[in-house]
Amino acid sequence: MVLASAARSTASPALIVPDEQSWLVWGFDPASDGLEPVLDWGAVRGVLVPDPMPAVLGAPLAACLSELAPTAPVMHRPVSELARSVAAAEEDVGHGNDRAHDHANHRHGHGDHGGGGDHGDGGDHGDGGDHGDGGDHGDGGDHEDMMAITGEPSGDGLVMESIDVSLGPLMSPMVAGLVAEVTLDGDVVAQCTLRALLRQPAVRLKPGGPPPDPLEPRAWAAVLASAAAAGEPPDTAGVWLRMVRVEIERATSHLAWLRSLARLLGWGELVKATRVAVAPLLAAQASLARQGGADRVSVGAVAIEPGDELAAVRELELASEALARLQRLCAGRRLASRTAGRGVVGAAEARAAGLTGPVARASGVGGDARSEDPLYRELGFEPVSGQGGDALARTLLRVAESVAAVELARGSLAHAYSGRPGRGDAQAEWVTLEGPRGPLRARRVGDCLRVDAPGREAVLRVASRAAVGLEWGSALVVLASFDLSGWQVGP
Amino acid sequence: MSYFTPLAVVGLALAAAPGVWLLEQLVAGQRPAPGRALRDLRIMLGSPLQRPESCDSALFHLAPSLLVLASVVALATVPWAPGFRGIDLQAGALLFVAALAYVTPAMVMAGWGAGRPLAVLGGFRWVALMLAYAMPLAMVITSVAAPAGSLRPTDIVRVQHAVPMAVAQPLALALWLPAVTAVCFLPPFDLPQAGGELFGGVFAEYRGLDLALVALAQRVLLLAVSGMTAALFLAGWEWPLLPPAVWMGLKTAAVAWLLLWAGRRFPRVAVDRALSLAWRVANPLSMLAIVYAGLLTLLFYR
Amino acid sequence: MSDLATAIVFWPAVGLMLAAAVFVFITSSMARAGLLLLASLAIEGLVFLALGSRFLGFLQLLMMSGEMVIMVFFMVMFMPDPGGLMGMDMTHDKRRSATVAVAVTAALGLVAVLTDWPARVVGRGAPDVRAIGFEVMGRSMISFLFAGMTILLAMVGGVLLAKHGGRFGLPAAGDEQSGEHSPPEERS
Amino acid sequence: MISLPVVLAVAALLFGVGVYGVLGQTNTIMIIMGVELMLGAAMLNVVGFLRYSHPHATSGDFFVLVLMTLMALEGAVGFALVVSVFRSRRTSEADDLTELSG
């Protein structure tokens, strides 16, 4: 979950958004408008909330707002209008705070500090009782336990006062809906528990249902659309185009993840490099969105000139160049200094835990659902595989996969326009596709699509294990390196 | 104390804010929008102070002032031009380091006063880091002072008439730059507030005037540190053709630009790595730098 | 510095220094105690300045900041009640120690006031920093070396006492296992 | 006008506060604080003597330097002891450490 704000501005409106993956697949890149995550809550002068938010996040959101912006206007906007609203909110702040509380009907109670539970950046405000007795100063809820600490000592055997910190589900480097409960021993993580709060509902295939949830894992939109199409009659160009979009989406998702990692690392150059690489991908996605199917992708999208089909080819070429530069940047020692050797998941552990997707491939185990696909094989697809299983391996693997994905997209785009025959069989009950975070198994039930993602819980377990024993900053980097999601996916 | 010009120093400190802001915008590749910055400032100053939910709001509200005081004293020791300087003392370079040393208690007060786990953690990181870099800082000051035979910054500038210290003692410069970046809590050493990691860390709770003071202090620190770097290593005003103050200004701006640029180019250093670098590499090297400075002085500066 | 300027710096500084020192042992907050000690000793640096010892004054300011801040963090991390909110009593023998302290102060104070000290005015012009350097590297070289060796010994000893494996448990190069804790045998 | 007895009296006061701290506190770190204050008083004494008797002698400054080093040393060794005691006993209270008192 990120709060976006105008770059380098000290006082600006914030935008409560889901993870950056969702943003980018909506086709709107906040960073291209100079919107950067707020890293300093004091600077926030207004809050923009996508509407509707999942019910389970209501209380955290209320707590978050009441703390973040007691004096700032809170605006709720439908997802489709968010892109425009950001600019409008900027203006609002410019004209003073009086026009504040429009859309008051959605405002959550500002006063209920106590009920909010934890809200992200420390977790010590929500549980009001601690402060009530005047006994707490934040870094140690339980003085009784102090004298009898029995917890695992950190590497140097010094048990310091244990500190409980709760991150998420909003306002933290965690993605929306993910809660991390961390016990710190001084500055070292002694314990870590990860929970995903959200549950993926069945995806409605027919239009006309309720508006899409803004926090849905939209990074999978094209993947899901592809799954939905599995049972439909063959469509030569359509099959190839869907593949293009799946691959663009994979690259976008990986790059968006990389950008949030870069933000966590405070690495301006990498943030900029990902922005440069993402822009052509978004443009390509937008121009393809006109080719029909799955218009969910184009919510808030960039306007495309009609008859601009070949734009996608050009944009993909640009993306390919930008990605090559990005790959060189990541291969250097600067990234390794923060990630190498941290959060190691050995091959044996990955296999035993049942990890899937890029995380497993970075440990050198697990396959790629795409290698079963005859169309991918026709494009000469080779699964990318990493070794070492540390945070660096996971990062490099995702970068390499984005590079490969753009190449695949270019290949299949060429096939689409050359009229090569595609596939159209797949009457199997479950269709398995490789999503950005790992394989997805989808099944049609009526006009709904049920999705199952094997290995989603495993990754939470492994990630919490990998963070233990690390210094706080490194632990966060390790957690981020797993590309976690706030969604428990299950049928 | 005959040169003491408090007004000039205060004016310079206030000028640091827009000046460094402009540089920040340029380094980030953005077009400066002064109107917007002014509006932001007005909003920031207009918002009320935060009362932290902790036991120690006195320390909390004292910290920004201590930070400003330390940075302004540091700024006052910088020799800007032959006739324009704040405090020109025999032990001025020592006072500069002493002033920088008071950033540390300010951070601890801010972190402790905020009463949040991550803020305390930010203070903790800062103490560890500054402890590790205190010795390189002091050693470097000593090694540039040795050739001049004086801790007076103006003397150190004069002794560089022929060869700037950056050329004579590159090792000292290499130790100095990361250490002063750390003192200014600029990226990649922004460990106490650490954007993505601690969410503002020690400063997360500050609002209104407190926040403005912190922002001012950081920029004054950057100006002071850049100015001192220009004076100690780049021969200050001592180059021909241009007027002295212009040279000094240009060099200061160049150093500030370098520091800000490096902050964008590198990911934030990990605490453990920063500490092990400081203790295992920077500290032994600073000893070496002092031995080298001694030899240099004996051979060439007597 | 003129007499007036000296007095203007000296008296308030002395007052603040003593007040801060007393409050170190009055406040119940450990963090405040550490910071007050810092304040007291830093202000002592100002007193040095007022007495005309600039080099020592600045050095005092510099040294104390680092040292006392470490103390604050030892307080915060190792004390059962760093915020001083539980009203834990950290004193013993209050009355007796106060009596002894007053007696010691009185004795020293009497010596200070009653002895016939050479009555010289405070020296203008402090010794040159350069002169101190020559002193340290010349006549006092042996004692300086001795002090240096002592520091080195104390540093090594301190590290040995406190050392207990690395804190952050980073794996050594090529070490596949230890992503988390260092192995238990290192810890015992 | 500040005379030497005044400086010495101030140092005596500071020393007294330190003595009170050392005797009256139970916690090791607080005791270290008291010792630091006493050493601070000693430094003030030396500076006073230096300034009023031999204002241009540099050996006095050197004494103060040594005292400052001593303070740092005392702190460092003290903390190292606290750390190692804390590791084995989980306490930093001096009153609990009676092993050596027979």
What's chain D's Rg over C-alpha atoms?
17
Q: Is A158 on the interface with C (CB under 8 A)?
A: yes
Supply the range of the domain harboring residue A36.
2-87
Q: Do C181 and A154 touch (CB under 8 A)?
A: yes
Pairing mode, strands A203-204 and A448-452 = antiparallel
**What's residue C43's pLDDT?**
93
Q: Is C182 on the interface with A (CB under 8 A)?
A: yes
Question: Please, what are the averages of pLDDT over each run of 10 residues along chain C (188 residues)?
Answer: 79 92 84 88 90 84 82 71 59 78 86 73 58 75 80 76 57 37 36
**What's residue A16's pLDDT?**
63
Mutate to test the interface with C, among D36, D74, D95, D98 (most CBs of C within 10 A): D36
C81: amino acid identity, one letter: D
Partner chains of C (3+ C-beta pairs under 8 Å) = A, B, D
**What's residue B12's pLDDT?**
82
Whether residue A437 lies inside any domain: the answer is yes
CA neighbor of A329 nearest in space, from A409, A255, A390, A382? A255
CATH number of the structural domain spanning residue A361: 1.10.645.10
pLDDT band with cut points at 50, 70 and 90 for residue A421: low
Q: In which residue ranges of chain D is pLDDT below 70?
A: 1, 54-59, 87-102
Q: Distance (Å, rounded) from C-alpha B221 to C-alpha A307?
A: 56
**What's residue A147's pLDDT?**
29
Q: What is the mean pLDDT of residues A261-283?
A: 88
Cβ-count burial of D59 within 10 angstroms (0-12 exposed, 13-18 middle, 19+ buried)?
Answer: middle
Q: Distance (Å, rounded) from C-alpha A211 to C-alpha A234?
A: 29
Q: Distance (Å, rounded) from C-alpha B228 to C-alpha D24?
A: 46
| Residue ending a domain, choose from A66, A87, A108 | A87
- Domain co-membership, A282 together with A430: yes
CA C104 to centroid of chain Cα atoms? 21
Q: Do D57 and C127 touch (CB under 8 A)?
A: yes
Q: What is the pLDDT of residues A16-40, one digit of tens each?
A: 655 666 666 566 676 666 666 665 5
Whether residue A373 lies inside any domain: the answer is yes
- Domain co-membership, A82 together with A204: no
Does residue A158 have a pLDDT over 60?
Answer: no
Question: Based on the structure, what is the number of domains in chain A?
Answer: 2
**What's residue A148's pLDDT?**
30
**What's residue C9's pLDDT?**
85
Does residue A278 have a pLDDT over 70?
Answer: yes
Whether residue A158 lies inside any domain: the answer is no
What is the pTM (predicted TM-score) of this model? 0.81
Give yes or no for a contact between B237 and B247, defined as CB atoms under 8 angstroms apart. Answer: yes
Q: What is the mean pLDDT of residues A66-92?
A: 64
- Domain co-membership, A238 together with A379: yes
- Domain co-membership, A274 together with A401: yes
Shortest Cα–Cα distance, C183 to chain D (Å): 18
Q: Write the ipTM.
A: 0.78
Whether residue A219 lies inside any domain: the answer is yes
Q: Do C67 and D57 touch (CB under 8 A)?
A: no
Does residue B23 have a pLDDT over 90?
Answer: no
Q: Three-class SS of residue C38?
A: helix
CA neighbor of A489 nearest in space, from A255, A209, A216, A181? A216
**What's residue A128's pLDDT?**
30
- The number of helices, as runs of H, and strands, as runs of E, in chain C is 7, 0
A379: amino acid identity, one letter: L
- Domain co-membership, A82 together with A211: no
- Domain co-membership, A213 together with A82: no
Q: C-contacting residues of A 316-355, CB under 8 Å? A: 341-346
Mutate to test the interface with B, among A40, A133, A392, A395 (most CBs of B within 10 A): A40
pLDDT band with cut points at 50, 70 and 90 for residue B82: confident
Whether residue A188 lies inside any domain: the answer is no
Mutate to test the interface with A, among B39, B198, B207, B216 (most CBs of A within 10 A): B39
State both tokens at C141. 């070289």
Pairing mode, strands A74-78 and A44-51 = parallel
- Domain co-membership, A407 together with A271: yes
Q: Distance (Å, rounded) from C-alpha A25 to C-alpha A19?
A: 11
Cβ-count burial of A286 within 10 angstroms (0-12 exposed, 13-18 middle, 19+ buried)?
Answer: buried
Q: How far is residue A14 from each of residues A58, A74, B51, measured CA to CA in Å?
A: 18, 9, 22
CA neighbor of A272 nearest in space, from A326, A318, A317? A326
B35 phi-psi bin (left φ>0, alpha ψ -120 to 50, beta other):
alpha
pLDDT band with cut points at 50, 70 and 90 for residue B254: very high
Whether residue A23 lies inside any domain: the answer is yes
**What's residue A490's pLDDT?**
56
Nearest-CB residue to B117 (from A71, A165, A173): A165
Q: C-contacting residues of A 3-22, CB under 8 Å? A: none
Give yes or no for a contact between A10 and A37, defined as CB atoms under 8 angstroms apart. Answer: no
Q: What is the mean pLDDT of residues A77-102?
A: 54
Nearest-CB residue to B197 (from A122, A131, A264): A264
Q: How many CB atoms lie within 10 A of CB D83?
A: 21
φ, ψ of residue A354 to 5 degrees: the values are 80, 40
CA neighbor of C68 nearest in space, from C118, C32, C117? C32
**What's residue A414's pLDDT?**
80
Beta partners for residue A179, in sequence order: A195
pLDDT band with cut points at 50, 70 and 90 for residue A90: low
Q: Which residues, 6 or more positions from C30, have their beta carbon under 8 angstroms from its beta carbon?
A: C72, C75, C76, C79, C81, C82, C83, C84, D29
CA A166 to centroid of chain Cα atoms? 19
Q: Distance (Å, rounded) from C-alpha B40 to C-alpha A90?
A: 11
Does residue B295 have a pLDDT over 90?
Answer: yes
Q: How far is residue B103 from each of residues A61, B8, B289, C83, C92, measured CA to CA in Å?
A: 36, 22, 25, 22, 35
Give yes or no for a contact between D52 and C122, defined as CB atoms under 8 angstroms apart. Answer: yes
**What's residue B223's pLDDT?**
94
Partner chains of D (3+ C-beta pairs under 8 Å) = A, C
- Domain co-membership, A220 together with A369: yes
Hey, which of A114-128, B68-82, C67-81, C142-156 has the most confident mean pLDDT?
A: B68-82
Mean pLDDT of chain D: 78
Does residue B222 have a pLDDT over 90?
Answer: yes
Q: Do B40 and A163 touch (CB under 8 A)?
A: no
Shortest Cα–Cα distance, A157 to chain D (Å): 7
Whether residue A293 lies inside any domain: the answer is yes
Give yes or no for a contact between B13 and B220, defined as CB atoms under 8 angstroms apart. Answer: yes
Q: What is the pLDDT of residues A320-363, one digit of tens each?
A: 999 999 999 999 899 998 898 888 999 999 999 988 889 999 99
pLDDT band with cut points at 50, 70 and 90 for residue A307: very low
**What's residue C13's pLDDT?**
92
pLDDT band with cut points at 50, 70 and 90 for residue A205: low
The residue that leads in pLDDT, A427 or A228, is A228
CA neighbor of A350 nearest in space, from A479, A458, A486, A467? A458
**What's residue B270's pLDDT?**
86
Q: Distance (Å, rounded) from C-alpha C72 to C-alpha C68?
A: 6
Q: Distance (Å, rounded) from C-alpha A170 to C-alpha A176?
A: 6
| Residue ending a domain, choose from A69, A87, A105 | A87
**What's residue B251's pLDDT?**
93
